[in-house]
A and B are shown apart, each in its own frame.
Chain A
Amino acid sequence: MTHLQEQYDDLEQQHEAAKLGMWAFLATEVLFFGGLILAYLVYRYLFPEAFRQGSKEMEVAFGCINTAVLLTSSLFMALAVQAAKVGKGKTVRRLLVLTALLGAVFLGLKSLEYRNHIRDHKFPGAAFHSELPHAEQLELFYFIYFAATALHALHLTVGCAVVLVIAWRAGRGAYSADYHSPVEVTGLYWHFIDVVWIFLFPLFYLLGQAS
């Protein structure tokens, strides 16, 4: 069985194309999240009080644990890619399952956090309620928070699914030292999700905590 698709000359060209393709895709993702982060920065500048208040209402513990979880998952992912390069299919599978598991933990914690927000009437829309003077601006904070973190969670969910598929295939010996582009490319994607969170975490949780 050959892994070489017919439009390519050789495996190396195919591998390079796959890698560059993922990088280009990640560039679009940066711009995608960039729009949201820009909106956040604009409104943070316009309504500093409300946004500081919003950050204070965040549960930092959740954020910290989640950050740790995601960083650890990235470590396993990096190890998995290394293992794939030397063709250790079983190790790859084990590491990838761990990665996806940690991703699921992140999502679980996040949904607990969401549940708390909704319980506190912090979900934007008709049910939103706050006693504070600038409730509308606070609602805007929560709006951007939910938009950005939900988008991130969506990416992570897709990421988990992809990682599990790759893990399953790795276990069946689909990858070798010659051919492991899918593992590497998935790794890039996973690290990107991690990096996005590294940006979101301080923006929503930490800025304004100090004062």
Chain B
Amino acid sequence: MRGKHIIFNFVVLLVTMGANPAGAFPAPLNASSTQFKSVGWDQKLGVQVPRDIRLRDEQGRTVPLASLLTSKPAVLVLAYYGCPNLCTQVLNGVVDGLRQLPFTAGEAFTVLVVSIDPRETPQLAAEKKKVYLKRYARPGTEPGWRFLTGSASQTARLASAIGFRYEYDSESDQYIHPGGITLLTSEGKIARYFFGVQYRARDLRLGLVEAAQHRIGSLLDEALLLCYHYDPSQGRYGPAIQSVTRWLGVATLLALGLLFNSLRAPRPKDDDRLWSFLGFPLFPLGASTVSAELDLIFILSLILCLLTLFAVFAALTYFSVRYRARNITDRSNSNPNATLLEIVWTVVPLSVFMMLFYWASQLYFTMNTPPPNALEIYVIGKQWMWKFQHPTGVREINELHIPVGRPVRLTMTSEDVIHSFSVPAFRIKHDILPGRYMTTWFEATRVGEYQLFCTQYCGTMHAAMGGRIIAMDPNVYAHWLDGAGHAGPVTSTTTPVASQPTRGRELFRRLGCVACHGPGGAGLATGPRLQGLFGSTVRLSNGTTVVADENYLRESILVPTAKVVQGFTPLMPSFQGRVSEQDLVDLISYIKALKLGQGG
């Protein structure tokens, strides 16, 4: 039900927006007067006002309407000069509004004030003209203001032509009439209505630009007219919000469609990595907890870009066609500067893009902050292969098995040059530098096999330094890990070895660490305690503190003098060149596993 209703409204909206109504709309003002039902406005937009209506000018000469419209648009006000209230307010409103415009009466437009009272004389009209010219305060504009009178039949013709319904009230000897003004084109067609007694300068300005068929006004007006449309029911210019929202709506639907496509479970026949159209792969399917949000940011910003691009291209094309040298068209008032316009078209897109900046930064933080209790995997990159090691000590080459639905934290280093760990399906990528540990993390959401690339150029076989990430159901993963760890290799590249802490303990003994750090890392006078060290805060001999993370442990093994624990002398030799990256991984995971009070 509800859905139908909305669609119906939408259709009505489209129809009403499409058809520029020349039909009757009740005027919002003065319609409340119940006594004079026949008083009000009938909107007759686009209708030609008879050009042969004859009126009297201030000198009493009879002039046809056609001669008053001198190739300029006109502001037409119907009033009478003896009017005690409304007319004065209408005229004051007109003058105040016009005073704020860059256009001047007589140059860009004419003001026609016509009395609806046939008894009024040209002398009275001339007196009124003086009053309002003074209020307008732009000397030399007398020819632009015409205060007219006319016979009963001629003024009635004019009033009915523009849909101005009024009545004479003999009791008070006054005319009852609606408030409002009309804009006429230079041909005398009705271009705009503005109701009430106050007229916003912007409405007048845009109305005049349109009534003049864009012969007056600057680029700024043109830009404003893109954003503001005349709303006949209100008799004023409002933001063209509907058309904007409509386009944004369509764009959002498209975005959601694409997003939905990237998220949905792949049909069996589909390539489970790419979304293709007519054989052209167009979009990669996501398979991690961040991929959906990242795609959404990307698509929304893509839409923003396309909108901007569309605006530029549309303007380029339109101007190129309209203002090609051979085309005879109006080129007056090509204002070469409009600071306001420049500020608007810079600040508006920028502020929109700033939201994008904020959102993307936030996600970047998430992508760089591994959640606690993640599965810890060590990654060693070397020319041109990947080595992985699971917490249980299971090692793999160029293949990494992980469970879905659990965050995986990668602690990565390189044995030689810079590499980069990139899994497009997970939307993650991180450089791997030699000599330090880098971390990144991901959480797979779909079972499947995903490509792993090295994306930092690393030498001859750079393109071959790839691999696969195999995301498995957690149970299957547990089973696989079991099999790989104890029952021999599951895949050809998987090596069963003793678990990391076991290898680490052996190294700890073999390298002689025990001598200073004590059995089980319990600590001696010569070397600080290692139990419970990982993750704790260490006070150094120079008074600063440091959190004992992988990089700290690594540095302390390779360059012991770099950070000396308070209360100890730097006796420890450097192990640089004596331990491999693999040994370091084993040692560090052994130290990480040491708990307080643990025996050797």
Contacts and interface: CB of A to CB of B under 8 A. Distances in A.
Interface of A: 47, 49, 133-134
A136 to B, nearest CB: 8
A184 B304 CA distance: 56
B540 to A, nearest CB: 12
> Main SS of chain B's interface residues?
loop
Interface in B567-594: 570, 574
A47 B560 CA distance: 12
B89 interface: no
Contacts of B559: 134
Contacts of B570: 133
Contacts of A134: 559, 561-562
A134 B560 CA distance: 9
A47 B559 CA distance: 11
Interface of B: 559-562, 570, 574
A133 B562 CA distance: 10
10 contacts: A47-B562, A49-B561, A49-B562, A133-B560, A133-B561, A133-B570, A133-B574, A134-B559, A134-B561, A134-B562
Contacts of A133: 560-561, 570, 574
A101 B561 CA distance: 46
A49 B574 CA distance: 15
B487 to A, nearest CB: 46
- Nearest 4 Cβ contacts at the A-B interface: A133-B561, A134-B561, A133-B570, A49-B561
Nearest to B576: A136
Contacts of A47: 562
A134 B570 CA distance: 11
A37 B560 CA distance: 27
A133 B561 CA distance: 7
Contacts of B561: 49, 133-134
A49 B561 CA distance: 9
A133 B574 CA distance: 8
Contacts of A49: 561-562
Given A49-B562, A133-B574, 8 more contacts: A47-B562, A49-B561, A133-B560, A133-B561, A133-B570, A134-B559, A134-B561, A134-B562
Nearest to A135: B574
A93 B598 CA distance: 82
B4 to A, nearest CB: 68
A75 to B, nearest CB: 42
A49 B563 CA distance: 10
A49 B570 CA distance: 12
A47 B562 CA distance: 7
Contacts of B560: 133
Nearest to A49: B561
Nearest to A132: B561
A133 B569 CA distance: 12
A51 B306 CA distance: 54
Contacts of B574: 133
B566 to A, nearest CB: 15
Nearest to A133: B561
A123 to B, nearest CB: 22
Nearest to B542: A48
Nearest to B571: A133
A28 to B, nearest CB: 30
A138 to B, nearest CB: 11
B69 to A, nearest CB: 60
B234 to A, nearest CB: 61
A32 to B, nearest CB: 26
A168 B322 CA distance: 70
Most buried by B among A49, A133, A134: A133
Nearest to B561: A133
A52 to B, nearest CB: 11
A133 B570 CA distance: 9
B357 to A, nearest CB: 28
Nearest to B573: A133
A162 to B, nearest CB: 43
B527 to A, nearest CB: 16
A134 B559 CA distance: 8
A47 B574 CA distance: 15
Nearest to B560: A133
A141 to B, nearest CB: 15
A42 to B, nearest CB: 15
Nearest to B559: A134
A38 to B, nearest CB: 20
A151 B88 CA distance: 86
A135 B562 CA distance: 12
Nearest to B570: A133
A122 B12 CA distance: 88
A47 B542 CA distance: 13
Nearest to B572: A133
Contacts of B562: 47, 49, 134
B184 to A, nearest CB: 62
